[in-house]
């Protein structure tokens, strides 16, 4: 079974990060406003990034990591600009450089 971390761009231009084991279903639920959460008041939402993982634990760890990132770093991730993700990791949190590189290399985080 696969698990996914995903980023949505909301109507107000903010980003929402989550994880799921059924990406298509979860995105449809967000778009329909079925969750009484952050996205339901910011419709419509658009999927702007997703990454597949081997386990729920890896997807959840990645979700938590991305939620702590700046808007600039999230946008670099969405563009696939790994040099910028790494530069921003060093700029703000030197200890996250290895994690960002692990995300790029395998889709699974290194602890």
Residue 81 contacts by C-beta under 8 Å, 6 or more apart in sequence? none
Residue 52 resides in a domain: yes
| The model scores a pTM over 0.85 | no
pLDDT by residue (tens digit) across 29-82?
Answer: 999 999 878 999 999 999 999 999 999 999 999 999 999 999 999 999 999 999
pLDDT value at position 81? 95
Is 54 a domain residue?
A: yes
Q: Which CATH number fits the domain that encloses residue 37?
A: 3.40.1440
49 inside domain: yes
How many domains does the chain divide into? 1
Asked whether residue 104 carries a pLDDT value surpassing 50, the answer given is: no
The string of pLDDT tens digits covering residues 4-36 is: 999 999 999 999 999 999 999 999 999 999 987
Q: Does residue 31 lie within any of the structural domains?
A: yes
Q: Which of 67, 77, 70, 69 is nearest to 16 (CA)?
A: 67
Average pLDDT over residues 73-99: 79
Do 107 and 59 touch, CB atoms closer than 8 A? no
Residue range of the domain that includes 55: 3-106
What confidence score (pLDDT) does residue 92 get?
56
| Residue carrying the six token digits 């079974």 | 1
Whether 98 is covered by a domain: the verdict is yes
- Position 14 in a domain: yes
More confident site: 105 or 87: 87
Q: Is residue 95 a part of any domain in this protein?
A: yes
Q: Is the residue at 111 inside a domain?
A: no
């Amino acid at each position: 079974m696969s698990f996914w971390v995903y980023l949505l761009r909301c109507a107000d231009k903010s980003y929402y990060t989550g994880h799921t084991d059924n990406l298509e279903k979860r995105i449809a639920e967000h778009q329909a406003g079925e969750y009484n959460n952050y996205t339901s008041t910011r419709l419509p939402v658009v999927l702007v990034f997703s990454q597949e993982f081997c386990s729920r634990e890896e997807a959840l760890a990645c979700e938590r990591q991305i939620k702590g990132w700046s808007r600039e770093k999230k946008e670099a991730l969405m563009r696939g600009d790994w040099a910028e993700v790494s530069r921003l990791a060093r700029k703000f949190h030197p200890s996250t450089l290895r994690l960002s590189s692990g995300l790029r290399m395998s889709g699974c985080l290194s602890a």
